[in-house]
């Protein structure tokens, strides 16, 4: 049996690796994996933030079908996922980290603690090393190594070792790089890998970083100069940025600094360009650490003899705005939140090793790819398509998608903040995007739509939805988006018909 290793590094932009042409950030180990596998250059996730993005990744279904809208929305228990499918194929899927999948309350007693968090475990996964939001296992490991952990634990361990919390500085973390949460999880996986004794495995290594808080350990905190890199893609002023759309204005006036820098107060949009450079400096350092950990993982696979029999898939859940459009984090409609890395290496398919793919691919493609690779049935209801033809080194199939899609739901079920601020009912707090090589159309249910000409405006700074010269483009995009939704409606039972002779399945 083929081994499977699915690796996710949380909140990772597509341009955050040198194999994608980054001029400053160097990621030699990830580049080496890409050179020995397939690099997908136009890969996009289908939702944000973490839980919705991961639901699409794990189920192979668009948000419109799995309906996991926000962090805290339960995942409907009727949906299949890659872990359950792998179990049916004879594997024991094993988790290192987290999956952020909320439990379906219909399958639990009302007092079940599983219903008090969205950081639940994907059904079908065996947990070897859990890392929920409080990172208890990591903090316990730190204490066992004689490292002092603040009484508040995870909430304060990411405060800088010196200097102010805000404005951001290049001060390092209070712990060394070898004691980081990333290094800890890698070590846990490698220890488990040595225990397998050539038994076929299916593992999910789910790193938290480069997810906030944006602070890196030495030497990664100063690996890049704060002034390095290109200018941020943004309007001249926050007010001018927010004028593009009511939803964008709402985000810029509500996104707190504390989501990205532990202990900071005020709005993230208040950070100036120098502050944004400091944050990006730390972000790149966190990615450089991920690259080093990829090197450890690959060496571990080779040392145990598993490298030549392991499908490795490296990706993330969603992207990161990282100062573009005066924003940090993920969500909304800009490419920075949804254009993400994907590298896959199947050792049995050398014809594909070293190639790059410029066709549009999506997170929902990962599940059917893994299933086909291990010889398991691919359920007909999945929205994604297998990427195995690309792993074989072949061209895109003739009927391959010419567009990518994603959705974002900004409802606040518990607080109602978004609904109140934007004057929208709960079910109108969402958007859907269709994007091709030239145009990007953003359809809001309860707010004005947007259209960008990416050839003339790659930074998505000028909305042309109401420009008469683009009226035909907007109509065509609207029709294509409607056709996409109609084609991908829930197909769980639509391929089955009850007849006098019993059920017939197409």
* pLDDT, mean of residues 414-439: 97
CA distance 130 to 133: 10
Helix 273-303 with 28-35: angle, nearest 10 deg: 50
Question: Residue 198: is its pLDDT beyond 90?
Answer: no
Question: Residue 151: is its pLDDT beyond 90?
Answer: no
Residue with tokens 């500085």: 169
Question: Residue 435: is its pLDDT beyond 90?
Answer: yes
**Share in percent of the chain as helix, strand, coil (round to 5):** 35, 15, 50
Averaged pLDDT score across all residues of the chain: 97
- Which one, of 84, 68, 86, 81, lies nearest residue 1 by Cα? 86
Q: What is the pLDDT of residue 426?
A: 96
Q: How many CB atoms lie within 10 A of CB 344?
A: 29
Condensed to tens digits (0 to 9), the pLDDT of residues 170-191 reads 999 999 999 999 999 999 999 9
* pLDDT, mean of residues 431-442: 98
Residues of the chain above pLDDT 90, percent = 96
- Label each residue of 424-445 as H, E or C: CCHHHCEEEEEECCCEEEEEEC
Using 50, 70 and 90 to split pLDDT, how confident is the model at 506?
A: confident
Which segment of 8-12, 89-93, 145-149, 334-338 scores lowest on mean pLDDT?
145-149
The residue ranges of every structural domain in the chain are 3-401
Q: What is the pLDDT of residue 226?
A: 87
As assigned by CATH, the class of the 3-401 domain is alpha beta
* pLDDT, mean of residues 456-461: 98
The helix/strand/coil state of 203 is strand
Question: Residue 401: is its pLDDT beyond 90?
Answer: yes
Question: Residue 155: is its pLDDT beyond 90?
Answer: no
Residue with tokens 């949804």: 338
Q: 445, 430 in Cβ contact below 8 A?
A: yes
- Which one, of 403, 495, 489, 388, lies nearest residue 42 by Cα? 403
Residues 285, 290, 296, 299: is their CA dihedral positive or negative? negative
Q: Which distant-in-sequence residues (6+ apart) come within 8 Å of 331 by Cβ?
A: 48, 49, 251, 337, 408, 410
Condensed to tens digits (0 to 9), the pLDDT of residues 459-469 reads 999 999 999 99
Condensed to tens digits (0 to 9), the pLDDT of residues 241-298 reads 999 999 999 999 999 999 999 999 999 999 999 999 999 999 999 999 999 999 999 9
By annotation, the residues acting in catalysis are 50
Q: What is the pLDDT of residue 355?
A: 97
Using 50, 70 and 90 to split pLDDT, how confident is the model at 23?
A: confident
Q: What is the pLDDT of residue 181?
A: 98
Question: Residue 153: is its pLDDT beyond 90?
Answer: no
CB-count burial class (<10 Å; 0-12, 13-18, 19+) for 175: buried
Say if pTM beats, i.e. exceeds, 0.85. yes
Condensed to tens digits (0 to 9), the pLDDT of residues 371-400 reads 999 999 999 999 999 999 999 999 999 999
Peptide bond into 167 cis (omega under 30): yes
């Amino acid at each position: 049996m083929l081994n499977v290793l699915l690796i996710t590094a949380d909140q990772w932009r597509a341009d955050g690796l040198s194999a994608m042409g980054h001029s400053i950030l160097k990621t030699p180990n990830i580049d080496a994996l890409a050179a020995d596998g397939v690099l997908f250059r136009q890969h996009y996730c289908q939702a944000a933030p973490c839980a919705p993005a991961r639901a699409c990744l794990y189920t192979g279904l668009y948000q419109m079908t799995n309906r996991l809208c926000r962090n805290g929305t339960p995942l409907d228990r009727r949906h299949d996922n890659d872990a359950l499918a792998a179990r049916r194929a004879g594997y024991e899927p094993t988790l290192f980290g987290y999956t952020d999948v909320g439990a379906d309350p219909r399958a639990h007693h009302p007092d079940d603690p599983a219903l008090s968090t969205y950081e639940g475990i994907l059904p079908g996964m065996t947990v070897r090393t859990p890392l929920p939001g409080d990172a208890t296992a990591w903090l316990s490991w730190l204490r066992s190594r004689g490292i002092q952990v603040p009484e508040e634990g995870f909430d304060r361990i990411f405060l800088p070792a010196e200097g102010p919390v805000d404005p951001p500085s290049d001060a390092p973390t209070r712990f060394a790089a070898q004691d980081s949460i990333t290094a800890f999880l890698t070590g846990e996986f490698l220890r488990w890998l040595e225990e397998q004794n050539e038994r076929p495995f299916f593992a999910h290594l789910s790193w938290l970083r480069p997810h906030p808080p944006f602070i890196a350990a030495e030497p990664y905190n100063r690996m890049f100069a704060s002034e390095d890199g290109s200018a941020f893609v943004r309007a001249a002023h926050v007010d001018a940025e927010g004028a593009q759309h009511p939803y964008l204005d709402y985000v810029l006036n509500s996104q707190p600094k504390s989501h990205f820098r532990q202990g900071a107060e005020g709005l993230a949009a208040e950070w100036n360009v120098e502050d944004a450079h400091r944050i990006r400096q730390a972000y790149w350092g966190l990615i450089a650490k991920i690259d080093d950990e990829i090197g450890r993982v690959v060496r571990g696979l080779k040392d145990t003899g598993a490298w030549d029999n392991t499908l490795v898939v490296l990706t993330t859940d969603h992207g990161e705005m990282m100062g573009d459009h005066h924003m940090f984090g993920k969500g909304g409609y800009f490419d920075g939140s949804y254009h993400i890395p994907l590298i896959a290496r199947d050792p049995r398919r050398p014809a594909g090793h070293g190639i790059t793919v410029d066709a549009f691919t999506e997170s929902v493609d990962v599940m059917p790819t893994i299933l086909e690779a291990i010889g398991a049935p691919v359920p007909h209801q999945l929205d994604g398509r297998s990427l195995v033809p690309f792993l074989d080194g072949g061209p895109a199939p003739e009927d391959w998608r010419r567009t990518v899609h994603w959705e974002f739901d900004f409802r606040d079920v518990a607080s109602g903040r978004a609904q109140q601020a934007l004057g929208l009912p709960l079910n109108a707090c969402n958007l859907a995007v269709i994007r091709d090589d030239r145009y990007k159309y953003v359809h809001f249910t309860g707010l004005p739509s947007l259209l960008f000409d990416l050839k003339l405006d790659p930074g998505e700074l000028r909305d042309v939805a109401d420009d008469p010269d683009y009226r035909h483009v907007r109509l065509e995009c609207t029709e294509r988006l409607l056709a996409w939704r109609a084609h991908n409606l829930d197909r769980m039972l639509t391929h089955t018909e009850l007849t006098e002779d019993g059920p017939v399945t197409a």
